[in-house]
Structure 1
Amino acid sequence: MVFESLVVDVLNRFLGDYVVDLDKSQLTLGIWGGAVSLKNLEIKENALSQFDVPFKVKAGHIGNLNLVIPWKNLYTQPVEAVLEEIYLLIVPSSIIKYDSLKEERQLLEAKQQELKRIEEAKQKVADQEQPQEEKQHTFAEKLVTQIIKNLQVKISNIHIRYEDDVSILIDDICFCICM
């Protein structure tokens, strides 16, 4: 379905830095009710890298991501994003061993994102030459902007485990935070 592809593309644009490849198989849509549900999302290892924290994600997943979009009252009611069953295993940055294949994959992914951004910029220039398509594209952008503007995020059932066998010389240390 075209609408599902549009939703997946928008979600990839905003969640792509944090979640491994979203696809239609993970997506459940209730178009008229405004319900979007994603299940079993894997968190990227470099998801926290832009926050300049001294640890990295070793493993992680989000059990459920539910969006409730009030289509009838989009400008007056909030869009709710509910994240449930989040599991994160974090380790100090120095504990992760260098993996050249993983490094190459991350560099390739960054290059692909840059190419995608360039292609989108070229497409925008081409759209300016076609006024009807520009209006449709502008409407979609306005819709996405309004959804993000009214976004409320709720998080439940989060489990964060920190493991450190580098910093402390005595023994390995780990602790968990559950909310």
Structure 2
Amino acid sequence: MTSSLLTGGPSLAELDERARDIFRRVVESYLETGDPVGSRTLSKGGVHLSPASIRNTMQDLTQLGLLGAPHVSAGRLPTHAGLRLFVDGLMEVGDVGEEERRTIEARLTGRGQTFDDALNEASAILSGLAGGAGVVVTPVRDAGVKHVEFVSLSADQALAVMVFDDGAVENRLMSLAAGVTPSA
């Protein structure tokens, strides 16, 4: 694995399959628990490698700036750059066609919309394009997002809970598309 941190960091495509799998599992576990993730946790959680092999790959990911550790003996957690890479990888969608582009622009430039309505519409559009959750926040603070959790409220509604590095917590109600499972 080679790093291109000076030119914006590595892409998921630059990582080999093992590194992508371990990186994905570390990020997903961290987002679920908020705790550093150890090699033994990953080996018991379905990665069919020894803890030593997992540690070596985690060290490579740390050298690339994608993972960090709160202290030497702790597990690893994603860095800001690692989370950004993970989100960017999730958001890779194909080119939007001209007709779709016009539809999106029409939805976002609707007359009489409040600012909150426009943000909600942008979130719904992103969600549809990505096939997952769409979260749009305005830059009202300098703190990064520390943790995001989705709580199912009903078959068509969920609560998004966002915890920021500065300790602030925001909750947002989300409408869910028909058939969206809790794991999605």
Q: How would you bin the TM-score normalised by the shorter chain?
A: under 0.3
TM-score (norm: length of structure 1): 0.23
Greater strand proportion:
1
TM-score (norm: length of structure 2): 0.22
Higher relative contact order (CA 8 A, sep 6+): 1
